[in-house]
Amino acid sequence: MAHTLVVLVEDKPGVLNRVASLFRRRAFNIESLTVGHTEQAGLSRMTIVVEGDDFAIERLIAYLYKLVNVVQVDDLTHTQSVMRDLALIKVQAPPESRTQIMQVVDVFRGRVVDVTNQSLIIELTGDVEKIDGFVEVLRPFGIIEMVRTGVVAMERGSSPLYVPLNGNGQAHLHPESISEN
């Protein structure tokens, strides 16, 4: 099944390459990967969707921790989390079908962000299934171009994901979560 991992990495040159190279070398397929800044200076956050059973993902997390620039890895798959994908879709929208498309956009709570005589660009945010559904509905109108960001995810509740070192210099989670089955 697909797992959603959140990987906090040091914001240094080549880190994306290290992570991507690890997936290649250890024969894991990345379904989607997003990278961006976080609330912590010097830390970037990757959200990676990867296919694999629980054992394989446990291995993958252990390998990720071997990378010196990887600070923390969490598997949000079995947690209560918000997962969002963003899509920009350029669709054919001549006057005769435009109203119909606008109604669909309304139903999905999308936004029209660009308009020409013959086309629209629609922005839609939501979980993967919602966007997949929207794309299917739009397809008969003629999709000219589409881009999706890939999933970003965040656990629900008030606690932060990243917990800096405690006084003993021991990392939060890290080795315990790996050696326990």
Partner 1 sequence: MKLTGAQIVWEVLKREGVEVVFGYPGGANLPIYDAMLDYPIHHVLVRHEQGAAHMADAYARVSGKVGVAMATSGPGATNLTTGIATAMMDSSPTVFITGQVVSRFIGFDAFQETDVTGITLPITKHNYLVRRTEEIGAVLREAFYIARSGRPGPVLVDIAKDAQQNSTDWEYDLTPLKLRGYRPQRYPLCQQVEQALELIAQARKPLILAGQGVLLSNAMRELQEFAERAQIPIAMTLLGIGGFPASHPLNLGMMGMHGEAWVNQSIQEADLLLAFGMRFDDRVTGNLKTYAPHARKIHIDIDPAEINKNVRVDVGIVGDLRETLQTMLEHLPRLDHSDWLEHINDMKGESAVRDIQYLPPDGHLYAAHVIHDLWRFTGGDAIITTDVGQHQMWAAQYYRVDKPFQWITSGGLGTMGFGLPAAIGAKFARPDAEVWAIVGDGGFQMTAAELSTAAQEGIKVNVAVINNGFLGMVRQWQEFFYERRYAATPMRSPDFVKLAEAHGLTGFRVERREDVQSALEAARSTDGTVVIDFRVEQEDSVYPMVPAGADLHNMIRRPLRAAIVETAQDEL
Nearer to partner 1, 20 or 88 (CB): 20
Nearer to partner 1, 41 or 147 (CB): 41
The CA–CA distances, whole Å, from 92 to 15, 35, 61, 121 equal 39, 31, 43, 9
Size of the site for partner 1 (CB under 8 A): 32
Site for partner 1 in 133-172 (CB under 8 A): 165, 169-171
- Give 91's strand partners: 120, 143
Q: Which of 1, 13, 27, 140 binds partner 1 (CB under 8 A)?
A: 13
Least distance between partner 1 and beta carbon 78 (Å): 19
Least distance between partner 1 and beta carbon 154 (Å): 21
10 Å CB burial of residue 104 (0-12, 13-18, 19+) is middle
- Give 75's strand partners: 5
Least distance between partner 1 and beta carbon 72 (Å): 8
Q: Which of 9, 49, 89, 91 binds partner 1 (CB under 8 A)?
A: 9
- 3-class SS at 22? helix
Residues 1 and 53 sit within 8 Å (Cβ to Cβ): yes
Q: Which of 84, 90, 130, 174 binds partner 1 (CB under 8 A)?
A: 174
Least Cα distance to 5 among 70, 68, 69 occurs for: 70
Nearer to partner 1, 26 or 156 (CB): 26
Site for partner 1 in 22-81 (CB under 8 A): 25, 42-43, 58-59, 62-63, 65-71
Residues 131 and 124 sit within 8 Å (Cβ to Cβ): yes
How far is 176 from 179, CA to CA, in rounded Å?
A: 5
Binding site for partner 1 (CB under 8 A): 9-10, 13-14, 17-18, 21, 25, 42-43, 58-59, 62-63, 65-71, 165, 169-171, 174-176, 178-181
